Structure 1
Amino acid sequence: MAGLRFLSASIEFSAAMLMLYFGRIETAFQINALLSIVGPTVLMLVTALGLCGLAGKVSPTGMAMVVAGVALIFLGIRRF
């Protein structure tokens, strides 16, 4: 999980450096648009890894609550 977060941070930092390098708002906007794919993808992958790791250690009720919480996060993102 930490490795994926580190990879995500590296991509974000690289994008920020590219924005500074090009120094144009149009290019920065395009780079930022590409980053909109990275964030949700990393969120889903890290969440999936965490749930797989917790599967045998958490009670079924606890797991249902975690899954419901993740579902509410995605529902909130889609609605607002």
Structure 2
Amino acid sequence: MKTWFFTIEMTLLVMVALRLISGLIELTVAGLILKFNSIEKAVALNAMLALIGPTIFIASVAIGLIGMSDRLSISKFVFIGAGVLLILIGIRK
């Protein structure tokens, strides 16, 4: 009987954990919005999510870049950083 061992990089596990936490926060807030049944509270909760989402995004990208740092040149880091900056500028209200 063969046993297959899969190795998963720690960086990838941290990125997955961040996304799972983010998803759980989103689901929790959705439940709270339903529970409170108030537009004012829904707007306040959505405002909090507007802070959490980009924070998780930036942390996840940063962790991924750190994990790939030995495989990327400085110019690629600059291009990726510019792309992330443009995304953040694009989603600003």
Q: When you count helix as a share of all residues, which structure comes out higher?
A: 1
Give 1:2's aligned residue: 16
Give 2:34's aligned residue: 20
Following superposition, which runs of at least 4 residues in structure 1 exceed 6 angstroms of deviation? Answer: none
Take 1:21 and 1:75, find their aligned partners in 2: how far apart are those partners? 33
Unaligned runs of 5+ in 2: 1-14
SS of match in other structure, 2:31: helix
RMSD: 1.6
Give 1:32's aligned residue: 46
Between the two structures, name the one with larger relative contact order (CA 8 Å, sep ≥ 6): 2
* Residue correspondence of structure 1 range 1-80 to structure 2 within 5 A: 1-78=15-92
Deviations 1:2-23 (A, max 9, x none): 1101100000100000111111
Take 2:89 and 2:45, find their aligned partners in 1: how far apart are those partners? 26
Deviations 1:23-48 (A, max 9, x none): 11112111111111111111111111
Take 1:57 and 1:12, find their aligned partners in 2: how far apart are those partners? 33
After TM superposition, the score normalised by the length of structure 1 is: 0.83
**Structure ID, larger Rg:** 2
Take 1:36 and 1:12, find their aligned partners in 2: how far apart are those partners? 11
Identity across matched positions, percent: 41
